[in-house]
Amino acid sequence: MAEVLTVEALSAGYRGRVVVRGIDLSLRRGDIVGLLGANGSGKSTLIRAITGQIPLLGGSVAIDGVDLAAAPERAKAGFGLAIEPHELPASLSGRQYMELVASIRGCAPNDLPSADLPGADLLERLELGRWIDRPIAEYSLGTRAKIATLAALLGRPPLLIFDETLNGLDPVAAFEVKRVIAALCASGRHAVIVSTHVGEAVPALCNRAVLTADGRLSRSWDAAELAEAGRVPGAFEESVMHALRIRTAA
């Protein structure tokens, strides 16, 4: 199946209050989609709905062909979520968190991308060896982001989701993680969502982008548009701001 994620007419929110509505989104194998939006625009709510952390108020989500509502455990096995660093369980060590995620996903705690991919020895490349057995409570924001990233990659699930996680990585760690993301998608077996507020990084990493505003997808960019914007410094950020100004005026 080519589509790793299919979202149709999705509505979701909290305590009956709709936050995102009418969302249609699909990812095919090889896609790296940047999910952009201001604080409060609904992008985190959308990710929580896609990953089954909150119930849908309408519409449907299918992950690798498995309907999330009909078979939640099977659907959730099809994605790896790098949660926001502050949401990590502070009382666990990095290794214990990796073991917990591996047990949920049904894989080995060290089942990271194999040696045929760049940056396969990510534990060493991300300089996590001296932190892996220490409590997450002692980690800096950047070290937490590294552990969240490693946990998402466990078992190489077909859909990878990074919820603001890459923003906390230092330049070296970000470079290594982006190499792995690009290689996984180039293999034709995976798709990636990168939720971020750092627009300047999107054209270099992603082949598509979508913008959330007021709980809806208000603008999208295809591969050609991103490539064109990436040729001029600041052009993509300007196009994002233009879309937001039009939305505000409307």
CATH code at position 201:
3.40.50.300
Which residues lie closer than 8 Å to 231 by C-beta, 6 or more apart?
none
**Which pLDDT value is given to residue 109?**
75
**Which pLDDT value is given to residue 156?**
86
**Which pLDDT value is given to residue 58?**
96
Distance CA 39, CA 212 (A): 10
201 within domain boundaries: yes
Structure tokens at 139: 């980690």
Distance CA 45, CA 15 (A): 13
172 within domain boundaries: yes
**Residue 238, domain extent:** 30-53+72-249
**Which pLDDT value is given to residue 53?**
94
Structure tokens at 159: 């859909």
107 within domain boundaries: yes
**Total number of domains in the chain:** 1
Question: pTM of this prediction?
Answer: 0.90
108 within domain boundaries: yes
**Which pLDDT value is given to residue 121?**
78
Low-confidence ranges of the chain (pLDDT < 70): 1, 113-120, 247-250
